[in-house]
Amino acid sequence: MSDADHPRTLLITLTGADRTGVTATLTRRLSGLSVVVLDVEQIVIRGRITLGVLVGPSPDHRGSPSGLLLEATELARDVGAELGLDVEVTLGAAEHLPGRRGRLLVTVLGHPLRPGALSAVTTRIAALGGNVDRIVRTAAYPVTAIELAVSGADQALLRAELAEVSSTVGVDVAVQRAELRGRGVHLVVMDVDSTLIQDEVIELVARRAGCENEVREVTERAMRGELDFAESLHARVALLAGVPESALEEVRREVRLTPGARTLVRTLKRLGFRVAIVSGGFSAVVEPLADELGIDHARANVLEVRDGVLTGRVVGEVVDRAAKAAALLEFAAADGVPLERTIAIGDGANDLDMLAVAGLGVAFNAKPVVRAQADTGLTVPFLDPVLYLLGITREEIEQSDADAGVQTPAPPLR
Protein backbone atom coordinates (compact mmCIF):
# COMPACT_ATOMS: atom_id res chain seq x y z
CA MET A 1 0.00 0.00 0.00
CA SER A 2 1.53 3.37 -0.98
CA ASP A 3 2.10 6.42 1.22
CA ALA A 4 -0.59 8.25 -0.74
CA ASP A 5 -3.22 5.72 0.40
CA HIS A 6 -2.77 6.83 4.04
CA PRO A 7 -1.08 10.25 3.80
CA ARG A 8 0.26 11.83 6.98
CA THR A 9 2.21 14.74 5.51
CA LEU A 10 1.87 17.29 2.74
CA LEU A 11 4.86 18.93 1.05
CA ILE A 12 3.97 22.28 -0.53
CA THR A 13 6.53 23.68 -2.95
CA LEU A 14 6.19 27.18 -4.42
CA THR A 15 8.54 28.33 -7.20
CA GLY A 16 8.79 31.38 -9.40
CA ALA A 17 9.80 35.03 -9.36
CA ASP A 18 10.53 36.19 -5.83
CA ARG A 19 8.35 38.80 -4.23
CA THR A 20 7.78 40.17 -0.74
CA GLY A 21 5.61 38.15 1.62
CA VAL A 22 5.60 34.69 0.00
CA THR A 23 6.29 32.79 3.22
CA ALA A 24 4.08 35.10 5.25
CA THR A 25 1.13 34.64 2.90
CA LEU A 26 1.32 30.86 2.77
CA THR A 27 1.77 30.37 6.51
CA ARG A 28 -0.97 32.89 7.33
CA ARG A 29 -3.42 30.96 5.17
CA LEU A 30 -2.30 27.62 6.64
CA SER A 31 -2.85 28.96 10.16
CA GLY A 32 -6.57 28.62 9.57
CA LEU A 33 -6.22 24.83 9.34
CA SER A 34 -5.48 22.27 12.04
CA VAL A 35 -1.93 21.57 10.76
CA VAL A 36 1.59 21.89 12.16
CA VAL A 37 4.79 22.77 10.33
CA LEU A 38 7.23 19.82 10.28
CA ASP A 39 9.95 21.31 8.10
CA VAL A 40 10.58 24.38 5.96
CA GLU A 41 13.27 25.37 3.47
CA GLN A 42 13.56 28.48 1.33
CA ILE A 43 16.18 29.64 -1.14
CA VAL A 44 16.36 32.62 -3.47
CA ILE A 45 18.82 32.60 -6.37
CA ARG A 46 18.96 35.48 -8.83
CA GLY A 47 15.44 36.61 -7.99
CA ARG A 48 13.89 33.12 -8.21
CA ILE A 49 12.36 31.63 -5.07
CA THR A 50 11.84 28.02 -4.09
CA LEU A 51 9.89 27.57 -0.87
CA GLY A 52 9.11 24.16 0.55
CA VAL A 53 6.83 23.73 3.58
CA LEU A 54 6.10 20.29 5.02
CA VAL A 55 2.93 20.10 7.14
CA GLY A 56 1.00 17.40 8.94
CA PRO A 57 -2.15 17.12 11.07
CA SER A 58 -2.05 18.83 14.44
CA PRO A 59 -1.90 16.37 17.40
CA ASP A 60 -5.34 17.62 18.52
CA HIS A 61 -6.95 17.14 15.09
CA ARG A 62 -9.86 14.71 15.40
CA GLY A 63 -11.01 14.46 11.80
CA SER A 64 -9.65 12.59 8.81
CA PRO A 65 -5.94 13.31 8.13
CA SER A 66 -6.51 12.72 4.41
CA GLY A 67 -9.38 15.20 4.27
CA LEU A 68 -7.36 17.83 6.14
CA LEU A 69 -4.36 17.47 3.85
CA LEU A 70 -6.53 17.65 0.75
CA GLU A 71 -8.02 20.89 2.13
CA ALA A 72 -4.45 22.20 2.62
CA THR A 73 -3.67 21.19 -0.96
CA GLU A 74 -6.48 23.36 -2.34
CA LEU A 75 -5.41 26.22 -0.10
CA ALA A 76 -1.82 26.00 -1.39
CA ARG A 77 -3.01 26.11 -4.98
CA ASP A 78 -5.07 29.21 -4.21
CA VAL A 79 -1.98 30.89 -2.68
CA GLY A 80 0.08 30.02 -5.75
CA ALA A 81 -2.52 31.54 -8.04
CA GLU A 82 -2.71 34.67 -5.86
CA LEU A 83 1.07 35.17 -5.88
CA GLY A 84 1.71 34.09 -9.46
CA LEU A 85 3.86 31.13 -8.42
CA ASP A 86 3.98 27.54 -9.58
CA VAL A 87 2.72 25.07 -6.97
CA GLU A 88 3.59 21.41 -6.46
CA VAL A 89 1.98 19.37 -3.68
CA THR A 90 3.12 15.91 -2.60
CA LEU A 91 1.28 13.69 -0.14
CA GLY A 92 3.47 11.32 1.86
CA ALA A 93 4.00 9.21 4.95
CA ALA A 94 5.14 10.34 8.38
CA GLU A 95 8.15 12.62 8.36
CA HIS A 96 10.21 10.91 11.04
CA LEU A 97 10.75 7.51 9.48
CA PRO A 98 13.81 5.49 10.64
CA GLY A 99 15.70 6.29 7.44
CA ARG A 100 15.46 10.01 8.15
CA ARG A 101 17.02 9.80 11.58
CA GLY A 102 20.67 10.43 12.26
CA ARG A 103 21.17 13.08 9.61
CA LEU A 104 24.71 13.66 8.39
CA LEU A 105 26.18 16.89 7.09
CA VAL A 106 28.40 16.59 4.04
CA THR A 107 30.44 19.71 3.28
CA VAL A 108 32.05 20.02 -0.15
CA LEU A 109 34.75 22.66 -0.70
CA GLY A 110 36.04 23.47 -4.18
CA HIS A 111 38.51 26.00 -5.52
CA PRO A 112 36.70 26.11 -7.92
CA LEU A 113 33.78 23.70 -7.48
CA ARG A 114 32.96 22.08 -10.80
CA PRO A 115 29.67 20.32 -11.68
CA GLY A 116 31.45 17.01 -12.22
CA ALA A 117 32.80 17.04 -8.66
CA LEU A 118 29.37 17.69 -7.16
CA SER A 119 27.94 14.98 -9.40
CA ALA A 120 30.52 12.48 -8.19
CA VAL A 121 29.74 13.26 -4.54
CA THR A 122 25.96 13.06 -4.86
CA THR A 123 26.13 9.93 -7.04
CA ARG A 124 28.18 8.16 -4.40
CA ILE A 125 25.75 9.27 -1.67
CA ALA A 126 22.84 7.81 -3.62
CA ALA A 127 24.73 4.56 -4.29
CA LEU A 128 25.14 4.11 -0.53
CA GLY A 129 21.41 4.53 0.11
CA GLY A 130 21.65 8.13 1.27
CA ASN A 131 19.10 10.81 0.46
CA VAL A 132 20.08 14.46 0.06
CA ASP A 133 17.41 16.34 2.01
CA ARG A 134 18.82 19.84 1.62
CA ILE A 135 21.63 21.64 -0.21
CA VAL A 136 22.79 25.14 0.69
CA ARG A 137 25.79 27.22 -0.30
CA THR A 138 27.66 28.50 2.74
CA ALA A 139 30.45 30.38 0.97
CA ALA A 140 31.49 31.65 -2.44
CA TYR A 141 34.86 33.14 -1.39
CA PRO A 142 37.74 32.30 -1.05
CA VAL A 143 36.40 28.81 -1.84
CA THR A 144 32.95 27.63 -2.86
CA ALA A 145 31.40 25.67 0.01
CA ILE A 146 28.26 23.56 -0.37
CA GLU A 147 26.57 21.79 2.54
CA LEU A 148 24.33 18.77 2.00
CA ALA A 149 22.05 17.34 4.69
CA VAL A 150 21.98 13.57 4.11
CA SER A 151 19.75 10.94 5.70
CA GLY A 152 19.72 7.18 5.47
CA ALA A 153 23.49 6.60 5.09
CA ASP A 154 26.08 5.02 7.39
CA GLN A 155 28.55 7.67 8.56
CA ALA A 156 31.73 5.55 8.54
CA LEU A 157 31.00 4.04 5.14
CA LEU A 158 30.00 7.37 3.62
CA ARG A 159 33.13 9.07 4.99
CA ALA A 160 35.38 6.36 3.54
CA GLU A 161 33.68 6.40 0.15
CA LEU A 162 33.67 10.19 -0.14
CA ALA A 163 37.33 10.35 0.85
CA GLU A 164 38.02 8.31 -2.28
CA VAL A 165 35.85 10.64 -4.35
CA SER A 166 37.63 13.65 -2.85
CA SER A 167 41.06 12.48 -3.96
CA THR A 168 39.76 11.56 -7.42
CA VAL A 169 37.89 14.75 -8.35
CA GLY A 170 39.98 17.29 -6.43
CA VAL A 171 37.56 18.66 -3.84
CA ASP A 172 37.60 18.57 -0.05
CA VAL A 173 34.74 16.65 1.55
CA ALA A 174 33.81 16.46 5.24
CA VAL A 175 31.21 14.13 6.76
CA GLN A 176 29.95 14.68 10.30
CA ARG A 177 26.87 14.08 12.40
CA ALA A 178 24.41 16.96 12.37
CA GLU A 179 24.21 16.99 16.17
CA LEU A 180 27.87 18.03 16.39
CA ARG A 181 26.62 21.45 15.33
CA GLY A 182 24.55 21.65 18.52
CA ARG A 183 24.44 24.67 20.73
CA GLY A 184 26.98 25.29 23.45
CA VAL A 185 30.65 26.23 23.64
CA HIS A 186 33.04 24.56 21.20
CA LEU A 187 36.82 24.23 21.41
CA VAL A 188 39.13 24.44 18.41
CA VAL A 189 42.70 23.19 18.94
CA MET A 190 45.32 23.86 16.26
CA ASP A 191 48.84 22.79 15.53
CA VAL A 192 51.16 25.74 14.87
CA ASP A 193 53.99 24.97 12.44
CA SER A 194 52.68 24.54 8.87
CA THR A 195 49.12 24.99 10.17
CA LEU A 196 48.55 28.27 11.99
CA ILE A 197 51.79 29.57 10.49
CA GLN A 198 53.47 28.78 7.18
CA ASP A 199 56.88 28.09 8.69
CA GLU A 200 58.68 25.46 10.78
CA VAL A 201 60.03 27.45 13.71
CA ILE A 202 62.90 25.08 14.46
CA GLU A 203 64.17 25.51 10.91
CA LEU A 204 64.16 29.29 11.27
CA VAL A 205 66.23 28.97 14.44
CA ALA A 206 68.49 26.38 12.78
CA ARG A 207 69.19 28.84 9.98
CA ARG A 208 70.90 31.04 12.53
CA ALA A 209 72.95 28.06 13.73
CA GLY A 210 74.02 27.11 10.20
CA CYS A 211 72.34 23.67 10.31
CA GLU A 212 68.99 24.35 8.60
CA ASN A 213 69.24 21.59 5.99
CA GLU A 214 70.17 18.96 8.55
CA VAL A 215 67.30 19.96 10.84
CA ARG A 216 64.80 20.11 7.95
CA GLU A 217 65.63 16.57 6.89
CA VAL A 218 65.03 15.22 10.41
CA THR A 219 61.82 17.29 10.73
CA GLU A 220 60.36 15.91 7.52
CA ARG A 221 61.10 12.33 8.54
CA ALA A 222 59.43 12.90 11.92
CA MET A 223 56.33 14.48 10.35
CA ARG A 224 56.00 11.50 8.01
CA GLY A 225 56.00 9.23 11.06
CA GLU A 226 59.35 7.65 10.23
CA LEU A 227 61.02 8.79 13.46
CA ASP A 228 59.93 9.05 17.08
CA PHE A 229 59.11 12.71 17.59
CA ALA A 230 60.65 13.10 21.05
CA GLU A 231 63.95 11.56 20.00
CA SER A 232 64.03 13.61 16.82
CA LEU A 233 63.30 16.81 18.76
CA HIS A 234 66.16 16.21 21.20
CA ALA A 235 68.50 15.53 18.27
CA ARG A 236 67.46 18.70 16.45
CA VAL A 237 67.54 20.92 19.53
CA ALA A 238 71.05 19.69 20.33
CA LEU A 239 72.18 21.24 17.04
CA LEU A 240 70.95 24.64 18.28
CA ALA A 241 73.39 24.83 21.21
CA GLY A 242 75.09 28.21 21.31
CA VAL A 243 72.42 30.15 19.42
CA PRO A 244 71.75 33.50 21.18
CA GLU A 245 68.41 33.73 22.98
CA SER A 246 67.74 36.92 21.02
CA ALA A 247 67.37 34.76 17.89
CA LEU A 248 64.03 33.51 19.22
CA GLU A 249 62.64 37.05 19.20
CA GLU A 250 63.92 37.50 15.65
CA VAL A 251 62.16 34.29 14.61
CA ARG A 252 58.94 35.36 16.28
CA ARG A 253 58.90 38.51 14.14
CA GLU A 254 59.75 36.49 11.03
CA VAL A 255 57.01 33.83 11.17
CA ARG A 256 54.21 34.17 8.61
CA LEU A 257 50.62 33.42 9.50
CA THR A 258 48.78 31.09 7.13
CA PRO A 259 46.31 33.05 4.94
CA GLY A 260 42.96 33.11 6.70
CA ALA A 261 44.42 32.42 10.16
CA ARG A 262 43.48 35.80 11.60
CA THR A 263 39.98 35.55 10.12
CA LEU A 264 39.55 32.05 11.56
CA VAL A 265 40.61 32.96 15.09
CA ARG A 266 38.85 36.34 15.08
CA THR A 267 35.56 34.84 13.92
CA LEU A 268 35.70 31.89 16.32
CA LYS A 269 36.33 34.18 19.28
CA ARG A 270 33.50 36.55 18.37
CA LEU A 271 31.10 33.62 18.06
CA GLY A 272 31.99 32.33 21.53
CA PHE A 273 34.36 29.49 20.63
CA ARG A 274 37.37 28.66 22.77
CA VAL A 275 40.64 28.44 20.80
CA ALA A 276 43.90 26.71 21.69
CA ILE A 277 47.24 26.01 20.01
CA VAL A 278 49.57 23.13 20.79
CA SER A 279 52.98 22.87 19.20
CA GLY A 280 56.04 20.71 18.98
CA GLY A 281 57.79 24.05 18.49
CA PHE A 282 58.92 26.47 21.15
CA SER A 283 57.06 28.47 23.77
CA ALA A 284 59.23 31.56 23.19
CA VAL A 285 57.55 31.90 19.77
CA VAL A 286 54.17 30.23 20.36
CA GLU A 287 53.09 32.09 23.51
CA PRO A 288 53.59 35.63 22.10
CA LEU A 289 51.72 34.51 18.98
CA ALA A 290 48.83 33.29 21.13
CA ASP A 291 48.76 36.63 22.99
CA GLU A 292 48.74 38.55 19.72
CA LEU A 293 45.78 36.59 18.33
CA GLY A 294 43.81 36.41 21.59
CA ILE A 295 44.05 32.62 21.80
CA ASP A 296 42.84 31.09 25.08
CA HIS A 297 45.34 28.26 25.62
CA ALA A 298 48.86 27.58 24.36
CA ARG A 299 51.33 24.76 24.93
CA ALA A 300 54.76 24.20 23.41
CA ASN A 301 58.26 22.98 24.25
CA VAL A 302 60.47 25.12 26.47
CA LEU A 303 64.08 25.61 25.39
CA GLU A 304 66.72 25.78 28.12
CA VAL A 305 68.65 29.05 28.13
CA ARG A 306 71.79 29.84 30.16
CA ASP A 307 73.82 33.01 30.05
CA GLY A 308 71.75 34.27 27.14
CA VAL A 309 72.32 31.30 24.80
CA LEU A 310 70.50 28.05 24.03
CA THR A 311 72.00 25.01 25.71
CA GLY A 312 70.66 22.52 23.18
CA ARG A 313 68.26 20.97 25.67
CA VAL A 314 64.50 21.05 26.32
CA VAL A 315 63.11 21.80 29.78
CA GLY A 316 60.38 19.44 31.04
CA GLU A 317 58.31 16.97 29.05
CA VAL A 318 58.33 17.08 25.27
CA VAL A 319 55.11 18.15 23.57
CA ASP A 320 54.82 15.11 21.33
CA ARG A 321 51.95 13.20 19.77
CA ALA A 322 50.53 11.93 23.07
CA ALA A 323 51.04 15.26 24.82
CA LYS A 324 49.06 17.10 22.15
CA ALA A 325 46.06 14.81 22.67
CA ALA A 326 46.41 15.18 26.44
CA ALA A 327 46.46 18.97 26.07
CA LEU A 328 43.21 18.88 24.07
CA LEU A 329 41.57 16.80 26.79
CA GLU A 330 42.87 19.15 29.48
CA PHE A 331 41.72 22.31 27.70
CA ALA A 332 38.28 20.81 27.01
CA ALA A 333 37.86 19.86 30.68
CA ALA A 334 38.97 23.32 31.83
CA ASP A 335 36.49 25.02 29.49
CA GLY A 336 33.65 22.56 30.18
CA VAL A 337 33.45 21.48 26.53
CA PRO A 338 32.31 17.90 25.74
CA LEU A 339 34.68 16.02 23.44
CA GLU A 340 32.05 15.80 20.72
CA ARG A 341 32.22 19.61 20.46
CA THR A 342 36.00 19.75 20.02
CA ILE A 343 37.76 20.30 16.70
CA ALA A 344 41.45 19.56 16.09
CA ILE A 345 43.47 20.83 13.12
CA GLY A 346 46.94 19.63 12.17
CA ASP A 347 49.22 18.52 9.37
CA GLY A 348 51.77 16.03 10.67
CA ALA A 349 52.06 12.59 12.27
CA ASN A 350 52.62 14.37 15.57
CA ASP A 351 48.98 15.52 15.39
CA LEU A 352 47.37 12.11 14.81
CA ASP A 353 46.36 11.39 18.43
CA MET A 354 44.90 14.88 18.80
CA LEU A 355 42.91 14.51 15.58
CA ALA A 356 41.65 11.09 16.68
CA VAL A 357 40.41 12.15 20.12
CA ALA A 358 38.59 15.29 18.90
CA GLY A 359 34.97 15.29 17.83
CA LEU A 360 36.16 16.41 14.38
CA GLY A 361 39.73 15.98 13.17
CA VAL A 362 40.80 18.16 10.24
CA ALA A 363 43.97 17.42 8.27
CA PHE A 364 45.21 20.74 6.87
CA ASN A 365 47.41 20.37 3.78
CA ALA A 366 48.62 17.27 5.56
CA LYS A 367 51.04 14.44 4.95
CA PRO A 368 49.34 11.39 3.34
CA VAL A 369 49.43 9.35 6.56
CA VAL A 370 47.55 12.13 8.36
CA ARG A 371 44.98 12.77 5.64
CA ALA A 372 44.22 9.04 5.52
CA GLN A 373 43.35 8.91 9.23
CA ALA A 374 41.67 12.28 9.83
CA ASP A 375 37.90 12.77 9.69
CA THR A 376 38.35 15.22 6.85
CA GLY A 377 41.01 17.21 5.08
CA LEU A 378 41.53 20.64 3.56
CA THR A 379 43.88 21.07 0.62
CA VAL A 380 43.22 24.75 -0.10
CA PRO A 381 45.92 27.23 0.96
CA PHE A 382 43.59 29.10 3.35
CA LEU A 383 42.80 28.32 6.97
CA ASP A 384 39.45 30.11 7.28
CA PRO A 385 37.49 27.47 5.27
CA VAL A 386 37.58 25.50 8.52
CA LEU A 387 34.72 27.81 9.49
CA TYR A 388 32.55 26.35 6.74
CA LEU A 389 33.05 22.87 8.18
CA LEU A 390 31.56 24.25 11.40
CA GLY A 391 28.46 25.60 9.66
CA ILE A 392 29.62 29.22 9.78
CA THR A 393 28.80 30.97 6.51
CA ARG A 394 30.79 33.61 4.68
CA GLU A 395 27.96 36.06 5.35
CA GLU A 396 28.31 35.46 9.10
CA ILE A 397 32.06 36.06 8.90
CA GLU A 398 31.61 39.34 7.04
CA GLN A 399 28.81 40.48 9.35
CA SER A 400 30.96 39.68 12.38
CA ASP A 401 33.78 41.77 10.90
CA ALA A 402 31.41 44.60 10.03
CA ASP A 403 30.03 44.67 13.58
CA ALA A 404 33.62 45.00 14.87
CA GLY A 405 34.60 47.61 12.29
CA VAL A 406 37.03 45.28 10.51
CA GLN A 407 37.41 45.80 6.77
CA THR A 408 37.17 42.48 4.92
CA PRO A 409 38.45 42.09 1.35
CA ALA A 410 35.84 42.23 -1.37
CA PRO A 411 35.22 38.91 -3.13
CA PRO A 412 36.08 38.66 -6.81
CA LEU A 413 33.40 39.57 -9.31
CA ARG A 414 31.31 36.65 -10.56
**Hey, CA dihedral for 388, 391, 394, 396, is it positive or negative?**
negative
> What are the angstrom distances between the C-alpha of 57 and each of 70, 75, 371?
11, 15, 48
Task: Give the helix/strand (H/E) hosting 328.
Answer: helix 321-335
The DSSP-derived string for 348-374 is SGGGHHHHHHSSEEEEES--HHHHHHS
Task: Evaluate whether 82 touches 134 at the Cβ level (below 8 Å).
Answer: no
Q: Is 191 a catalytic residue?
A: yes
SS3 177: strand
Please state the separation of Cα 165 from the chain's center in Å: 18
Give the residue among 174, 14, 143 at the shortest CA–CA distance from 81. Answer: 14
Task: Evaluate whether 132 touches 175 at the Cβ level (below 8 Å).
Answer: no
Instruction: Name the catalytic one among 191, 347, 351, 384.
Output: 191
Q: Is 193 a catalytic residue?
A: yes
Q: Is 342 exposed, middle or buried (0-12, 13-18, 19+ CB in 10 A)?
A: buried
Give the residue among 414, 413, 365 at the shortest CA–CA distance from 386. Answer: 365
Rg (CA), the chain: 26
CA atoms of 20 and 22, how far apart (whole Å): 6
CA atoms of 124 and 171, how far apart (whole Å): 14
Instruction: Name the catalytic one among 193, 320, 375, 384.
Output: 193
Neighbours of 186 (CB within 10 A): 25
The DSSP-derived string for 224-258 is TTSS-HHHHHHHHHHTTTT-BTHHHHHHHHH--BP
The DSSP-derived string for 180-209 is GG-SS--EEEE-TBTTTBSS-HHHHHHHHH
**Would you name the residues annotated as active-site residues?**
191, 193
